[in-house]
Amino acid sequence: MLNLDFKIDRGEFSLAAQLELPSQGVTALFGRSGSGKTTLLRCIAGLEKTAQGSLSFDGETWQTERFFLPLHQRPIGYVFQEASLFPHLKVLANLTYGYRRIPKEQRKLQPEEVIKLLGIEELLGRYPDELSGGQRQRVAIGRALLTSPQLLLMDEPMASLDATSKAEILPFLEKLRDQLELPIIYVSHAIEEVTRLADHLVLLEAGKVIAEGELQDLLTDPSLPFIQTETASTVLRAVVKQPDTGDGLTELKLGNQALFISKTSVSAGQPVRVRVMARDLVLALTPPTETSLLNCLTAWVLDIQPDPNPSQALVRIEVADQILLARVSKRSVENLKLKERQLVYALIKGVALG
Ligand SMILES: Nc1ncnc2c1ncn2[C@@H]1O[C@H](COP(=O)(O)OP(=O)(O)OP(=O)(O)O)[C@@H](O)[C@H]1O
């Protein structure tokens, strides 16, 4: 558990955050530019000398009113927006810079593992200026991991990358989340990234925490801004039933219902996350029999929420104790006479893993 209680007053901007964050999985600090995400991350790292308050991590005190554990003594790794590699050192030397400075018995990860995890085998003999932005950032992540941190802090690590590099680096961040038992605090203002990566979410606005909790809960909370966006989506937790159905699909189990996705490299019994966009759902009152769509879930209507587009509505439906959002026209809500607690069949046009 990461317990923090910080206050900073900079005149025009003030931060006040009191949080108890899980010390596992990815916690995203999300909010608009200027909401205080970086400032809060820097407080955790010990980079904000003017921050008043307290901080403890897994029972170890890092800061109180009278005590301040300096940055270099906190067991953290920090990845900045722009990879700051040593220009005169090749990739391998950059990677092992921190690693060589920590005692052998404290080294939790070995260079070979990290190099493989981040797919940077081919880059080891190059200098930083011979790398693309995405490659540089992977090396910077590798360097942070090799200091064997107990907590990894990442400040918009993809902010300076183009769309292609982002798409290239996201799977590595997912691997980090899934394969290392390392808690990560991840700053971002891009909801697609947060939806892909986070388990837990802290929503900041003007230096204040306005919501905090499980990603799934916050994404579907009608009192928060997420459902009111064009990209409103949900994340469901499912389990792999059959990795290969023989015709190019993987079968997942959602409660006692089946969900099919394009075949992917997963194994039976593995928990996975799937993302579904609100606009990719179609609701029906009877089980559709003749349709090309593979995925149809039986669900219950929880409630019907307004949509920013006046012709549309957002129907929150429940499947296996999880909530899905369906963006449908208001006319359809009326035609189908949709109401709370009604049984519906949800046809899903697109499901993505991750
Ligand atoms: N060193 C500083 N001195 C004074 N004000 C600062 C300093 N650093 C940041 N600020 C201000 O504090 C506020 C919060 O900044 P912060 O960088 O934490 O926001 P952010 O949510 O991370 O934004 P972004 O997404 O743009 O990085 C902003 O108004 C910013 O201008």
- 161 CA → ligand 1 middle, Å: 20
Confidence at residue 230, expressed as pLDDT on a 0 to 100 scale: 87
Residue with the nearest Cα to atom 29 of ligand 1?
Answer: 34
Backbone angles phi, psi at 75, to 5 degrees: -80, 60
- 81 CA → ligand 1 middle, Å: 14
Distances (CA, A) of 70 to 148, 153, 325: 17, 16, 45
Which of 184, 174, 171 has the alpha carbon at shortest distance from 145? 184
120 or 106, greater pLDDT:
120
Sheet holding 271-277, edge to edge: 257-262, 249-254, 233-242, 271-277, 352-353
Rg over alpha carbons for the chain, rounded to the nearest Å, is 22
Confidence at residue 347, expressed as pLDDT on a 0 to 100 scale: 95
Confirm or reject: Cβ of 188 under 6 Å from ligand 1. Answer: no
Confidence at residue 166, expressed as pLDDT on a 0 to 100 scale: 85
Q: Is 162 helix (H, G, I), strand (E, B) or coil?
A: coil
Backbone angles phi, psi at 139, to 5 degrees: -65, -40
Confirm or reject: Cβ of 208 under 6 Å from ligand 1. Answer: no
Confidence at residue 181, expressed as pLDDT on a 0 to 100 scale: 87
Confirm or reject: Cβ of 106 under 6 Å from ligand 1. Answer: no
The tokens describing 311, both together, are 């012709």
Mean pLDDT for all residues in the chain? 93
Taking residues 160-178, what's their average pLDDT?
85
The answer to whether 266 and 308 are in contact (CB under 8 A) is no
Residue 354 pLDDT > 80: no
105 or 277, greater pLDDT:
277
Confidence at residue 351, expressed as pLDDT on a 0 to 100 scale: 82
- Rounded distance, CA 96 to CA 291, Å? 55
Confidence at residue 13, expressed as pLDDT on a 0 to 100 scale: 94
Confirm or reject: Cβ of 165 under 6 Å from ligand 1. Answer: no
Distances (CA, A) of 203 to 79, 190, 231: 21, 12, 17
The C-alpha torsion from 245 through 250 and 252 to 258, rounded to 10°, is -50
Residue 207 pLDDT > 80: yes
Determine how many CB atoms are found less than 10 A away from the CB of residue 311.
8
Distances (CA, A) of 344 to 30, 281, 284, 300, 326: 33, 12, 6, 6, 11
Q: Which of 9, 10, 32, 33 to mutate to test the pocket of ligand 1 (most atoms within 8 A of CB)?
A: 10
Bridge partner list, 242: 251
- Rounded distance, CA 146 to CA 130, Å? 22
pLDDT band of residue 319 (cuts 50, 70, 90) is very high
Taking residues 80-105, what's their average pLDDT?
91
pLDDT band of residue 75 (cuts 50, 70, 90) is very high
- 80 CA → ligand 1 middle, Å: 14
Confirm or reject: Cβ of 9 under 6 Å from ligand 1. Answer: no
Cα 199 to its chain centre, rounded Å, is 6
Residue 46 pLDDT > 90: yes
Place of tokens 């995400």: 37
Percent of the chain with pLDDT over 70: 100
- 317 CA → ligand 1 middle, Å: 38
Q: Which of 38, 42, 210 to mutate to test the pocket of ligand 1 (most atoms within 8 A of CB)?
A: 38
Residue 265 pLDDT > 90: no
Q: How many CA atoms lie within 13 A of 297 on its CB side?
A: 31
Confidence at residue 165, expressed as pLDDT on a 0 to 100 scale: 83
Q: Helical H runs in the chain?
A: 37-45, 91-95, 111-117, 133-145, 163-179, 191-197, 215-219, 330-335
- Rounded distance, CA 11 to CA 257, Å? 54
- 224 CA → ligand 1 middle, Å: 23
Is the backbone of residue 109 left (phi > 0), alpha (psi -120 to 50) or beta?
beta
- Rounded distance, CA 279 to CA 285, Å? 18
The answer to whether 266 and 243 are in contact (CB under 8 A) is yes
Confirm or reject: Cβ of 36 under 6 Å from ligand 1. Answer: yes
- 146 CA → ligand 1 middle, Å: 29
pLDDT band of residue 84 (cuts 50, 70, 90) is confident
Confidence at residue 179, expressed as pLDDT on a 0 to 100 scale: 85
Residue 255 pLDDT > 90: yes
Confidence at residue 22, expressed as pLDDT on a 0 to 100 scale: 94
Confirm or reject: Cβ of 37 under 6 Å from ligand 1. Answer: yes
| ipTM surpassing 0.95 | no
Domains of the chain and CATH, by start: 2-219 (3.40.50.300), 233-353 (2.40.50.100)
Q: Which of 6, 35, 50 to mutate to test the pocket of ligand 1 (most atoms within 8 A of CB)?
A: 35
Strand extents, DSSP E, the chain: 2-9, 14-21, 26-31, 52-57, 60-63, 76-79, 151-155, 184-188, 200-205, 208-214, 233-242, 249-254, 257-262, 271-277, 281-284, 295-306, 312-319, 322-329, 343-348, 352-353
Residue 116 pLDDT > 80: yes
Which of 164, 165, 142 has the alpha carbon at shortest distance from 154? 142
Q: What does DSSP say about strands 26-31 and 184-188: parallel, antiparallel, or unpaired?
A: parallel
Query: pLDDT, tens digit, for every residue of 131-154?
Result: 998 899 999 999 999 999 999 999
